[in-house]
Structure 1
Amino acid sequence: MSTDGALSRTRWLPRLIGVLLLLMGLALLAGGIKLSQLGGSLYYLIAGIGFALSGILLLALRRNALGLYGLVLLGSTLWALWEVGLDWWQLVPRLALWFALGAVLLLPWARRPLLGNPSKVNTGLLSLAVVLSGATAVASQFTHPGEIKGELGRESAEMSSTAPQMPDGEWQAYGRTEFGDRYSPLRQITPQNVHKLQEAWRIRTGDLPTDNDPVELTNQNTPLKANGKLYACTAHSKVLALDPDTGAEIWRFDPQIKSPVGFKGFAHMTCRGVSYYDENNYVNADGSPAPKISDAGQAVAIACPRRLYLPTADARLIALNADTGKVCEGFGNQGVIDLTTGIGPFTAGGYYSTSPAAITRELVIIGGHVTDNESTNEPSGVIRAYDVHDGRLVWNWDSNNPDDTAPLAPGKTYSRNSANMWSLASVDEKLGMVFLPLGNQTPDQWGADRTPGAEKYSAGIVALDLANGKVRWNYQFTHHDLWDMDVGSQPTLLDLKTADGVKPALIAPTKQGSLYVLDRRDGTPIVPIREIPVPQGAVEGDRTAPTQARSDLNLLGPDLTEQAMWGASPFDQMLCRIQFRELRYEGQYTPPSVQGSLVYPGNVGVFNWGSVSVDPVRQLLFTTPNYMAFVSKMVPRAEVAAGSKRESETSGVQPNTGAPYAVIMHPFMSPLGVPCQAPAWGYVAGIDLTTNQVVWKHKNGTSRDSSPIPIGLPIGVPSMGGSIVTAGGLGFLSGTLDQYLRAYDTNTGKELWKSRLPAGGQATPMTYTGKDGKQYVLVTAGGHGSLGTKMGDYVIAYKLAE
């Protein structure tokens, strides 16, 4: 066989690479021209020319193609280092493809068929470029951009928990207590033995998605441990009482939720939890006055001494006997309060309570979800306090009518479209206050017609007097909110050690990344809050606030830049850079626009309903910040396309009926469906509350369940769900987009243990002591429809191996 014949049969490889390089170069050139016209980087234009010429030379089988390709690869490597340094995940879309093609070109089968001067210059230049690119990749494995390595370094700050007392092994409220600290004094499971944690039992509730359900069906439930039982609720508002040691079902209650049009048109459907009340918790052993109980309430106290309060997806509040699961007939109307009373008309699913009610000695206090961006004529966001025994309305607080808290007269209607509370309130009964995390007056991106009450109270914390519902104080975190920065997190209460002594504090985590720390007696800041100038220029007819509040304690990331754009390849990264340049973005609080504005942090937030967890003894805050940008584009009413529809409250065309603009919202994604901003998108972080310093911060979660190839790359993914901390020195979290329950050392943030879940774990876990004296960790694994995590119907408990 002749040498020429063998060479002719191997010429297909360099020619194939040449075709690929020519096509890719032309694509980069076209995009590069567009990007340069927008004032962006010239790299893609220059690289496109270089790669296209390299492809042409390879098609001609010219040896100098190697040198030219090496020169472009070398320039690409230096450019990448100049833009992002030794950041592995930022380097991948910039260099990985070009490095791989360069390595292939060095193979004998690619080099030998090439014609021209046999000088080693071309091969040497390519070899140098490949080695430098590879060395850059290797060196970047030893850097950790965005992370903070440190230790809290103490077991105690000489403080104790002042939350309402309950047995150590109980979890009687969503946040364990009405302080919402998500802290358990259990210490059987420790950093030293957590590796022995194994599944103790799992059950399936049988409540799975149906064809009649909305897209955003979610399983965000945190079960309670009280009365010797576990109490869990499902997305369809069913309640299960379980044996804490085995998961065996003791009783089940199905409220038979109904909708006049079915549930398909709902924005979402969820049940984050039920509320628990035990008459024995108020037997006055401390000498406090007995609760005021009517004759009807006395009958309920006798018939149902331990009660659960269940909010349903069809807007009812039902009192159940916690022992038997039977309805407490003496409460409300045959055991039920109709939460639509006084609300006025609304689209099916447009009003109900997704979160459990707050419980006090005498009251059950509840708000409600109001669908975002449906119209300007939505139900009231009124917060109502009912007698915990007989269910009569004691007071109501409406932000549009804040001074009139007397119970609404029969036949009357609350003000329309007032700011609501869809999340959870916290309570300090010693101070006699309930603390409300308030949302906005809808629609979110149009504020010209907002009421004075909305302008004063929305997107902040409002403290009400428990006795009469009157405002004691309020602090607004986002003025004239045009970004959906409602306060989604339950406020966390604790006694805080400060340089000025111990203070009763409230910590409010927010979507915009600030953690506002206030004296809960009067709302004055403990950590300074500054009013910062923000971008101006709302759409025609609206306005913007000149400044916005920012806490000195925050987990804000840096503003986005073109260099921070990402993608799975150089091509969608380039398209993300073009998108970035085409959108309006001047930093945080860039106003919504007809052009389309980049919202960062996005409306899912740095912190959402998962809130934070706090160890009051160590004075440590454990949290899971997220970093995802969104796009909002205002569409003049006349330009709204026929047949346009919303996909969920955070995607699709939001109608905003009654406003001059609809709005299109969606995550800021590349054409390949990956975020346009560079990772990491999710972290765990620990904050020393005595110094307000972040002592550690680590990327959290993997790409295993978010990419076509199920490989668990430690990229740092968003989480939707809360954390808990224990006196044993551990934090637990299950909300990441990959399906794991994880345990962390709260001293360092190091991940110590994880267990694979059968479905998405978008819930806050909890921990309790079983009848066997063992500490259990429990999580609901049921998925989240709009996040795209795997759906299921699991409740799973873990304990240490014998």
Structure 2
Amino acid sequence: MALRRDAIAIVVIVAHGLLVQAAVASARAWPQWGGDAGGTRFSPLAQITPANVDKLVRAWDYHTGDSTVRPPAAALRTKFEATPLLIDDSLVFCSPFNEVIALDPGTGVEKWRFDPKLANDLRPANRYACRGVAHWVDAQAPADAVCRSRLFMGTVDARLIALDARTGRPCAGFGVGGEVRIDLGTDLLWPGEFQITSAPAVGRNMVVVGSSIADNQRVAAPPGTVRGFDARTGALRWSFDPLIHDGITAGHANVWAPMSVDDERGLVFLPTSSPSPDFFGGARPGDNRHSDSVVALRIETGALVWSFQTTHHDVWDYDLPAQPTLARLETGQGARDVVMQPTKQGFVFVLDRDTGAPIWPVEERAVPQGAVDGERLSPTQPFPTHLPPLLAQRFTSEDIFRVVPRFVDSSCEDQLAPLRNDGLYTPPTTQGTLIYPMTGGGVNWGGAAFDPVRQILYANVSRAIHIVRLIPRDQADRMRSQPGIELGLQRGAPFAVTRAIAMSKLGLLCNRPPWGEMVALDLKAGKVLWRSTVGTTEDRAPLGLAFKWGTPLVNGLVVTAGGLIFTGAMDAYLRAFDAGSGEELWQGRLPAPGVANPMTYQWKGEQYVVIAAGGHSEAGTTLGDGVVAFRLARVGESPSLWSRTIDRPGGRLAGSAMMAGFVLAALLLAWWQWRRRRRRA
């Protein structure tokens, strides 16, 4: 009996040691797209702090080669939005063309590369983009078995691919030759109408895949089916169409943003999108459940557990763009396991993880009515009561950005004054509707980050205006696309739609800065702790003038136990902010804008921060194909021009904000007068 007890004790000790080692390894790594399966984007690493962040140097940079190898027509349609994972001693990510690349974490040297051979002429509706890969370990396979540790990736051309995480070779036992071609069950208008952009979700030996589908093309669009595959074999185990089709004609309600997994509960959480088409819902009366919803499914069967809708009968493209954040939250009445869902409108809904019921009251409030003929709006929309929105939700003439006198440039007033503008949820009209926050957010695919120690939620938000106009069908059929104006034909509906960001003739957003902000939200107290402007005009303005007006922020951030938040923007810098105060502390220069979520990991005793720096073609930034890593300086190293400290409020603005504004106004006025003289000549 004593020997048996000793044996049991040894087993327990060994098991505990293995669990501790796994926990330590996980803390040092970044094993999931959102940091963990719940997408908290929190790292327990604390080597880099506000006290030493100014000692960061560029450790290495890597280039995929896409900028030079790919045909220009394809390379110019890229968005490098990938977040690398640190697994099996490799830093692994996907390029916009779905190449999976493994790097040495300390040097950035390429270890292996897999190319799925995407065609260069797909014209994907949401550009060539891949936000990340997913990692899974087959616990039933021998420790040294091929594909015991494997990577999953969805592709632009609708494939699900499984690779050996150590070598990058396709897993022969998965599907056919390591891939499954997804059967859409419908014809496409063109090959790029349907694609996969976000990383799959994994759990309970399942891999779950959503989709990204072209907006505003047709009423009878492809369905937004979510699919669950066997992680070992690739066999399709279940399909779930989020949209209830009784009595309606519509498609989509797809899940294009990343999903989250609670492996203990066996749940996968879907952030669903709007039904088709976005801006006219006459053929889809009712609330259109389970679109625009947080949906919890049994990951092994696809069975619906609960659903919470954040926008009823969406005609604003206010779909859920961000990964649901899973965390344990102190609510004031005890700790609860919750799902936190940020939205494009700037709301944050906090839901019970088991039931989907709001933790704090959500009110149904009356919203503007009076839509076009054939439309039936929801009379109310859900509003959280405990948490304030992350940004203002109404725009007035006082909010117009004026850098020169109106007699010089009145283009913003001329565009905005005729529009219908009754605040949030003003319906699309033929006269034109001002939509603020714009249809890109608020919060976008970058999602939020949650610090479980401080119990604070952090999120990037954009501030811009969309002008949406419904075009009667007889006029729409004669229209052609114009620069800066998106035309959605909405085939099968009585209206097409045009959508454009409100900008002045000087190329500036019509709303006052900041155009991009980081916001810290105390969930328990229900208040915004601070806001901080993110980004400058340096990479867009004449002469490289760095006005601290912020940039739109579709990307997200990472928060660390060291008290720092790292984020990219649409200028070419990685930034560090103090998590307690929001003060910007440091900037690291990038070869192109880092419109991606950064990540952090520890390698051989050193903490690294990494971001994909390839720009964003839809936003008009410079493009590239880089991945850049920073770490603290070693003995003999010193920060260079690639890394700089923010030593005063306002960043690198030369002089006061008033002087900066005056300089810009003078330059713009001089440019306008030169152009006027040239036209007269």
TM-score range, shorter chain: 0.7 to 0.9
Distance 1:620 1:782 in 2: 30
Bigger radius of gyration among the two? 1
Cα offset, 1:726, TM superposition:
0.6
- Structure 1 residues 319, 800: closer, same or farther in 2, change over 3 A? same
- Structure 1 residues 722, 755: closer, same or farther in 2, change over 3 A? same
Distance 1:519 1:310 in 2: 30
How do 1:720-739 residues align onto structure 2 when only pairs under 5 Å count? 720-734=554-568, 736-739=569-572
- Structure-2 residue corresponding to 1:637: 473
SS class of match (1:731): strand
Does structure 2 retain, via aligned residues, the 8 Å contact 1:706–1:737? no
1:575 to 408, 411, 423: 411
- Structure-1 residue corresponding to 2:27: 168
SS class of match (1:252): strand
SS class of match (1:598): strand
1:694 to 528, 539, 546: 528
Distance 1:336 1:611 in 2: 29
- Structure-2 residue corresponding to 1:756: 589
Is 1:447 aligned to residue 290 of structure 2? no
- Structure 1 residues 451, 391: closer, same or farther in 2, change over 3 A? farther
2:452 to 607, 616, 624: 616
- Structure 1 residues 636, 215: closer, same or farther in 2, change over 3 A? farther
Is 1:320 aligned to residue 163 of structure 2? yes
Is 1:796 aligned to residue 628 of structure 2? yes
Does structure 1 retain, via aligned residues, the 8 Å contact 2:123–2:192? no
Q: How many residues align?
A: 606
2:346 to 502, 507, 513: 513
1:200 to 34, 46, 59: 59
- Structure 1 residues 508, 687: closer, same or farther in 2, change over 3 A? same
Counterpart of 1:528 in structure 2: which amino acid?
P
- Structure-1 residue corresponding to 2:38: 179
SS class of match (2:128): coil
Cα offset, 1:353, TM superposition:
0.8
Partner deviation per Cα, 1:416-468 (whole Å, 9 max, x = no partner)? 7241000111111222211100001111001111276x701111111112232
Does structure 1 retain, via aligned residues, the 8 Å contact 2:370–2:427? yes
Partner deviation per Cα, 1:142-178 (whole Å, 9 max, x = no partner)? xxxxxxxxxxxxxxxxxxxxx9996211111100111
- Work out the percentage of aligned pairs sharing the same amino acid: 40
- Structure 1 residues 436, 690: closer, same or farther in 2, change over 3 A? same
Distance 1:300 1:365 in 2: 25
Partner deviation per Cα, 1:564-615 (whole Å, 9 max, x = no partner)? 1124322366332232221111111110000000000110110000101111
Counterpart of 1:241 in structure 2: which amino acid?
A
Counterpart of 2:26 in structure 1: which amino acid?
P
Counterpart of 1:496 in structure 2: which amino acid?
L
Distance 1:265 1:612 in 2: 27
Distance 2:618 2:307 in 1: 33
Does structure 2 retain, via aligned residues, the 8 Å contact 1:724–1:733? yes
- Structure-2 residue corresponding to 1:102: none
Is 1:492 aligned to residue 325 of structure 2? yes
Counterpart of 2:454 in structure 1: which amino acid?
R
Is 1:254 aligned to residue 118 of structure 2? no
- Structure-2-length-normalised TM-score: 0.86
Is 1:378 aligned to residue 221 of structure 2? yes
Counterpart of 1:328 in structure 2: which amino acid?
C
- Structure 1 residues 664, 402: closer, same or farther in 2, change over 3 A? closer
RMSD: 2.2
SS class of match (1:624): strand
- Structure 1 residues 212, 713: closer, same or farther in 2, change over 3 A? closer
Cα offset, 1:377, TM superposition:
2.5
SS class of match (1:457): coil
- Structure 1 residues 301, 400: closer, same or farther in 2, change over 3 A? farther
1:332 to 164, 171, 175: 175
Distance 1:336 1:268 in 2: 22
Distance 1:300 1:460 in 2: 40
1:527 to 350, 354, 360: 360
Distance 2:189 2:297 in 1: 27
- Structure 1 residues 416, 251: closer, same or farther in 2, change over 3 A? farther
Partner deviation per Cα, 1:511-535 (whole Å, 9 max, x = no partner)? 0110111111101111322222111
Distance 1:402 1:575 in 2: 43
Cα offset, 1:376, TM superposition:
1.6
- Structure-1 residue corresponding to 2:233: 390
Cα offset, 1:370, TM superposition:
0.8
- Structure-1 residue corresponding to 2:212: 369
- Structure 1 residues 534, 394: closer, same or farther in 2, change over 3 A? same
Instruction: Return 5+ residue gaps in structure 1 as ranges.
Output: 1-162, 284-297, 404-414
Cα offset, 1:299, TM superposition:
9.8
Does structure 1 retain, via aligned residues, the 8 Å contact 2:558–2:598? yes
- Structure 1 residues 720, 341: closer, same or farther in 2, change over 3 A? closer
Counterpart of 2:612 in structure 1: which amino acid?
T
- Structure-1 residue corresponding to 2:397: 562
- Structure-1 residue corresponding to 2:87: 226
SS class of match (2:413): helix
- Structure-2 residue corresponding to 1:593: 429
Cα offset, 1:332, TM superposition:
1.0
- Structure-1-length-normalised TM-score: 0.73
Distance 1:164 1:525 in 2: 31
Partner deviation per Cα, 1:700-751 (whole Å, 9 max, x = no partner)? 22111232231111122222211000111110001x2221100111011111
Partner deviation per Cα, 1:339-361 (whole Å, 9 max, x = no partner)? 23434434211111100100103
Does structure 2 retain, via aligned residues, the 8 Å contact 1:215–1:786? no
Which shows bigger deviation, 208-217 or 179-188? 208-217
Cα offset, 1:301, TM superposition:
9.4
Does structure 2 retain, via aligned residues, the 8 Å contact 1:382–1:398? yes
Is 1:628 aligned to residue 464 of structure 2? yes
Counterpart of 1:419 in structure 2: which amino acid?
A
Does structure 2 retain, via aligned residues, the 8 Å contact 1:447–1:542? yes
- Structure 1 residues 791, 359: closer, same or farther in 2, change over 3 A? same
Cα offset, 1:485, TM superposition:
0.4
Cα offset, 1:629, TM superposition:
0.9
- Structure-1 residue corresponding to 2:611: 779
Distance 2:398 2:244 in 1: 48
Instruction: Return 5+ residue gaps in structure 2 as ranges.
Output: 1-21, 635-681
- Structure-1 residue corresponding to 2:384: 551
Cα offset, 1:555, TM superposition:
1.4
Cα offset, 1:401, TM superposition:
5.7
- Structure 1 residues 465, 715: closer, same or farther in 2, change over 3 A? same
- Structure-1 residue corresponding to 2:13: none
Does structure 2 retain, via aligned residues, the 8 Å contact 1:299–1:330? no
Distance 1:250 1:267 in 2: 30
Cα offset, 1:671, TM superposition:
2.0
- Structure 1 residues 392, 689: closer, same or farther in 2, change over 3 A? same
How do 1:71-470 residues align onto structure 2 when only pairs under 5 Å count? 167-208=26-67, 210-213=71-74, 216-258=77-119, 262-264=121-123, 266-279=125-138, 282=139, 302-400=145-243, 417-450=251-284, 455-470=288-303
Partner deviation per Cα, 1:321-380 (whole Å, 9 max, x = no partner)? 111111101101221111234344342111111001001031000110011011122222
Counterpart of 1:607 in structure 2: which amino acid?
V
Partner deviation per Cα, 1:63-118 (whole Å, 9 max, x = no partner)? xxxxxxxxxxxxxxxxxxxxxxxxxxxxxxxxxxxxxxxxxxxxxxxxxxxxxxxx
Does structure 2 retain, via aligned residues, the 8 Å contact 1:214–1:264? no
Cα offset, 1:699, TM superposition:
2.0
Distance 1:670 1:418 in 2: 34
- Structure 1 residues 732, 531: closer, same or farther in 2, change over 3 A? same
SS class of match (1:601): coil
SS class of match (1:709): helix
Partner deviation per Cα, 1:725-781 (whole Å, 9 max, x = no partner)? 0111110001x22211001110111111111111011000000111x2211000100
Partner deviation per Cα, 1:443-502 (whole Å, 9 max, x = no partner)? 1001111276x7011111111122321111111111110100010000000000012100
SS class of match (1:579): helix
Counterpart of 1:606 in structure 2: which amino acid?
G
